[in-house]
Amino acid sequence: MPSVVILISGSGSNLQAIIDASQSEQCPINIAAVISNRANAKGLERAQQANIKTAVIDHTQFNGREDFDQALVKQIDTYQPDLVVLAGFMRILTHEFVEHYTGRLINIHPALLPDFPGLNTHERAIKSGVKEHGATVHFVTTEVDGGPIILQAGVAVKSNDTAKELAQRVLQQEHRIFPLVIKWFAEKRLVLNDNKVFLDQQQLPETGINYAQVTENQ
């Protein structure tokens, strides 16, 4: 069973969705460890309740990003993971870190990339007047939120939406698409080759797959 290390910084709701999927056998993985850069991250409690190993590497205890990332790599590699998952990990990673895990490092972003990379995506979506917003799972490259897209799920933006309301609906979609992408990777159906995404040996378009088009047997 493929080994996965999950990196978090906060509440860990996506982590919980992945744990639930792995425990229900929907997602054939072994979560080897959950690592946080914040000791008070609620996601650590979620992992401990599921009897998953946890570790804290506090970024404030390092002189810079390079030193922190080196310590993080050292910790991750003790588990020899097949896949590293960024589930609300609020750190910009160095090129060296990203290149070390090329092809086995994925992230979820609360927007329909390439729209709204970075922070405050829901506020920005409402302010811009877009009719659709959503979430994206993508491979991580050295360009922040710019890696090859795997799967997206959209939600309608309502005329009276608040950022909090919109965020909640997007989060529901995140909890659906993230475990599914991890399942594809675990089953060796999903690969990154020459910065292009392949699912079942078919190259995906630059915008990835839309979750609404995913059939049950995928």
Q: Where are the domains of the chain?
A: 1-101, 108-218
3-state SS, one letter per residue, for 141-171: CCCCCCCCEEEEEEEECCCCCCHHHHHHHHH
Torsion sign across C-alpha atoms 102, 218, 149, 78: negative
Whole-model pTM?
Answer: 0.95
Please determine whether the domains at 1-101 and 108-218 fall in the same fold group of CATH.
yes
Does the domain formed by 108-218 have CATH 3.40.50.170? yes
Residues with a catalytic annotation lie at 109
CA distances from 18 to 30, 47, 91, 175, 181 (A): 11, 11, 20, 8, 10
pLDDT of residue 215: 55
Question: Does residue 145 contact residue 117 with C-beta atoms inside 8 Å?
Answer: yes
Q: In sequence order, what E strands does 2-148 have?
A: 3-8, 30-36, 54-56, 83-86, 105-109, 132-139
Architecture of domain 1-101: 3-Layer(aba) Sandwich (3.40)
Nearest-CA neighbor of 92 among 103, 114, 102, 107? 107
pLDDT tens-place values along the chain, 218 residues long: 999 999 999 999 999 999 999 999 789 999 999 999 999 999 999 999 999 999 999 999 999 999 999 999 999 999 999 999 999 999 999 999 999 999 999 999 999 999 999 999 999 999 999 999 999 999 999 988 999 999 999 999 999 999 999 999 999 999 999 999 999 999 999 999 999 999 999 999 999 999 998 854 44
pLDDT of residue 87: 97
Cα–Cα distance list, 5 to 77, 87, 145 (Å): 9, 10, 20
**CA 95/CA 62 separation, integer angstroms:** 17
